[in-house]
C-alpha cells in the first residue's frame, strides 16, 4: 500500500460537506473486490478515483493470469 497524500477531494462540490470514506463493492471478471470510495453523506454522490479502480482491475487481471 502506498501512503500518498490523498487529501484532494474531500468535500462535495455541491453540498460542501466532508466526504465519507465508504467501502464499495465491485465485480470485475467475476471477481469481487472492494474499494474505499469517498462519498457525500448528503447527496450520495460517489467520487471514484479512476486510477484506484483501474489499479484494482489490474490486480484482478494479474490474479487471473496466475491461474
Binding residues (CB under 5 A) for Zn ion: these are 12, 14-15, 40, 42-43, 45
**In the complex, least distance from residue 16 CB atom to Zn ion, rounded to whole angstroms:** 8
Nearest to Zn ion of 10, 43 (CB atom): 43
Nearest to Zn ion of 15, 57 (CB atom): 15
> Shortest CA distance to 42 belongs to which of 64, 66, 5, 11?
11
DSSP 4-34: ----SS-B-TTT--BPEEEEEEEEETTEEEE
**In the complex, least distance from residue 64 CB atom to Zn ion, rounded to whole angstroms:** 36
Amino acid at each position: 500500500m502506498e501512503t500518498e497524500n490523498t487529501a484532494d477531494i474531500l468535500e462535495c462540490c455541491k453540498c460542501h460537506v466532508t466526504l465519507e470514506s465508504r467501502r464499495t463493492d465491485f465485480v470485475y471478471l467475476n471477481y469481487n473486490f472492494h474499494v474505499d470510495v469517498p462519498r457525500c453523506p448528503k447527496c450520495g454522490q460517489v467520487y471514484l478515483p479512476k486510477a484506484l479502480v483501474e489499479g484494482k482491475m489490474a490486480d484482478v487481471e494479474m490474479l487471473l493470469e496466475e491461474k
